[in-house]
Chains A and B, each alone.
Chain A
């Protein structure tokens, strides 16, 4: 297997045509030789990637609407989005739908993102921050800019999640050029977006990362959780490589940005310090 150029090389003109083609024929994998590959021959997904769009506001189709912070006016308003849920609506069980609606009504205080909590999967993928895939000969690391969250994708020695965690436990494998990752062991405290969509600790997510060319991935996540949904359902969206020179994730250590919110009632002299 010849070694192909890494992702840090300049994009040859010939690739631009392939990118345009990929844009018009979504999910049609590009000719294999155009992908950066590992010495073993599998695609090398190493690089900085980001979702574009409005899924982080609400993964279901939604019109533009007021934000939750009136003083921020239009800056805090929710942009409209077509949604990324196949079929449009999440198939909630009735009681779960009620929970989602309650979450939505209180999203201005309950969204774990407000407190800088790790986002879980798949939400980490389409938050408005880049993430970086580090692909080694063995396991794969995904480091997310938001909150410094990360997860290891174990490519061998697959085990059941030993313990629940915010980012879950990821077992990965290759199906052709598609990286398939099964995520379990999430703790049920994360949301799927800013609109209160959610799963429980029983959630099982099967992600598929399929290269459409050197700079685009097709991302799918099949979500199963019989305690919350009536059937498995799927989201899909493209991921884009950040191609600007020197692209990287930077530090977004957000606990300090949530401190005033979380702890100011305990500040010396605070009016509500008896809380």
Chain B
């Protein structure tokens, strides 16, 4: 088994590999055979930059190079816990799974993925939305383990909350872009729904058709692919939203994949949702080209976790009922 130091050295090498493995087929002008800015290929958004800016960095949108290196080093280091504590007993992802350090991260001097509002934090929920979120959290506290339908969409393998807008996840934080003449396709490795984006100016879906990933329309603007997505269900959330809050049916997400060079893209996404927020908010981060392929993530087919979670909850209920029965007997 590799020790932590060796792992970190390997991780550093992986970072370098992640950002230098050019496999671009673009012409000298950065365009593909359709004349579109060439965005095609495998990309990673793996990062240590937090979604919202930590309060202690409130007025500091960017690190210096040295600060970023130190922040990255600390975030990629092994999880430090005190021996003998409950926290010390945990799944060691570095040894038994995949974590950031093994995948390599994309260099980024920002202190948050949220770039607008300028404080790097989401705007506060409007009162009505905050109240709805509070009620959902309260319901979940009571009923969160009652049935499959009470578990999260991610546990149910319906969608994950990082798919639109695309938000970095803990591992396999990769995506693939396909470009055809009249379509672009965005596919994230974790929940690999092919989000097919028509580019031919067709009208949006009828209002009655609501989809978990909404309905996307795209166009090229200069060196960027711009995608607008509406027709959400009102039943999904975005990773980073406050607990219990859901994206409303009126939400609109505008994404921009801008070609920087053969090996780098800049991703920017703005979320407008007047039910939740008085103002829009925006995230931005770089994507680095990686070598493929991406493997099939068959979430639902291998979903033992959902059954085990419910089974565990039922076992706890039976144990509690049994204890209450015995306790009651002793009191008699």
Interface, chain A (partner B; CB < 8 A): 6-8, 38-40, 44, 46, 116-118, 132, 134-139, 141, 143, 147-148, 150-152, 154, 162-163, 165-167, 245-246, 248-251, 253, 255-256, 259, 262-264, 266-268, 273-274
Chain B interface main SS type: loop
Q: Which residues of A contact B203 (CB under 8 A)?
A: 246
Q: Which residues of A contact B205 (CB under 8 A)?
A: 250
Are A150 and B158 closer than 8 Å at their CB atoms? no
CB-nearest residue of chain B to A260 = B148
Are A154 and B293 closer than 8 Å at their CB atoms? yes
A37 → B minimal CB distance (Å): 10
Which stretch in B76-84, B120-128, B208-216, B274-282 binds the other chain? B208-216
Are A248 and B196 closer than 8 Å at their CB atoms? yes
Cβ of B200 under 8 Å from chain A: yes
Cβ of B109 under 8 Å from chain A: no
Are B182 and A251 closer than 8 Å at their CB atoms? no
CA of A135 to CA of B200 in the docked complex: distance in angstroms? 16
Q: Given A256-B158, A259-B148, do A46 and B182 touch, yes or no (CB 8 Å)?
A: yes
The residue from A250, A256, A264 contacting B147, defined by CB atoms under 8 A apart? A264
The residue from A39, A132, A151, A264 contacting B196, defined by CB atoms under 8 A apart? A132
Q: Given A137-B40, A268-B317, do A250 and B183 touch, yes or no (CB 8 Å)?
A: no
Q: Which residues of A contact B156 (CB under 8 A)?
A: 255-256, 259
B276 → A minimal CB distance (Å): 23
Which residues of B, 169-188, contact A by the 8 Å Cβ criterion? 176, 178-183, 185, 187
Which residues of B, 139-188, contact A by the 8 Å Cβ criterion? 145-149, 156-159, 176, 178-183, 185, 187
B38 → A minimal CB distance (Å): 9
Q: What 1/0 flags go to B315-326 for Cβ under 8 Å of A?
A: 001100000000
Cβ of B91 under 8 Å from chain A: no
Q: Which residues of B contact A256 (CB under 8 A)?
A: 149, 156, 158
| A-B pair number, CB within 8 angstroms | 128
Q: Which residues of B contact A150 (CB under 8 A)?
A: 187, 192-194
Q: Which residues of B contact A135 (CB under 8 A)?
A: 180
Q: Which residues of B contact A134 (CB under 8 A)?
A: 178, 180, 183, 185, 194, 196
Cβ of B198 under 8 Å from chain A: yes
A125 → B minimal CB distance (Å): 16
Cβ of B25 under 8 Å from chain A: yes
Centre residue among B148, B180, B182, B211 by max chain A CB count within 10 A: B180
Can you identify 8 A-B contacts, CB atoms within 8 angstroms? A141-B185, A165-B296, A246-B203, A248-B196, A253-B158, A255-B156, A255-B303, A267-B310
Q: Given A251-B212, A266-B314, do A259 and B180 touch, yes or no (CB 8 Å)?
A: no
Q: Which residues of A contact B194 (CB under 8 A)?
A: 132, 134, 141, 143, 148, 150
CA of A154 to CA of B292 in the docked complex: distance in angstroms? 11
CA of A268 to CA of B318 in the docked complex: distance in angstroms? 11
Are A268 and B314 closer than 8 Å at their CB atoms? yes
Additional 9 contacts, C-beta under 8 A, given A137-B33, A152-B176, A167-B296? A39-B33, A137-B34, A147-B300, A166-B298, A251-B211, A253-B159, A255-B158, A259-B148, A259-B149
